[in-house]
Structure formats: C-alpha cells, structure tokens
Amino acid sequence: MIKMCRSNGQFTYYLTSSIAVSEDFGTAIVYGISIREKNKISAVEDISDDFEFVRSLFDLIVEEKLYPEHLMDVTEDFLSENSNALSFSNSAAAVNFRKQHCSC
C-alpha cells in the first residue's frame, strides 16, 4: 500500500507499507521505499516497522533526487549508520533486509 508519493518529473518516489509475519515477532506493519523511472522500478520492502525512521530516509532520497539504481546501496548505508536508533524488532527487519538483498 502506498503511504506517500512524491515526483520530481524524472522519478516518482513511494513510501509503502505492507504486513510482515515473523515467527519471532508476530505480525507487524513494515515500511519500504520504491522509485519509478518510466517503466523501471527499484524497491526495498520491509526496511523497518518504524514509520518515522523510514520517512526520514524517504525524505532524504527525495531531497537528493536519488536514482533508482542507487536505492539498495543508500538504504543499506542508512541502516548501517543508524543502527543504534533501531529497536529490537527493527534490527530484525534490518537483518531480514540484508538476507534478502545482500550477498554479504
């Protein structure tokens, strides 16, 4: 589900929400970010269950007019640099993100 949408003419940015189910944490609403350029979409889902945390990343991405191909790297860097601000369940979301999207 789309929570917010911003466009700069070249790209359209979306802050999305979805339901995540985890054996350890149960059911939670989690937030992600997508960038669309014409027929190409880059997306990172399940960044965190903290709306304000993801909103701050979303605002930064929109402000910097981030290209879709850089979304994954910027998200991972943002999670890394702000890991001390994450709650326990958010840390699980970060681990889940890395498992799904990184070869590290």
In angstroms, the Cα distances linking 52 to 41, 59, 69, 91 are 23, 10, 24, 15
Please choose, from the candidates 81, 66, 11, 73, the residue with its C-alpha nearest in 3D space to the C-alpha of residue 40: 11
Average pLDDT over residues 41-68: 94
CA 99 to the chain's CA centroid: 14
Split at pLDDT 50, 70, 90, the class of 81 is confident
State pLDDT tens for residues 90-102.
444 544 544 444 4
Which pLDDT belongs to residue 26? Answer: 87
DSSP label at residue 66: -
pTM above 0.85, yes or no: no
Look at residue 43 and tell me whether its pLDDT is greater than 60. yes
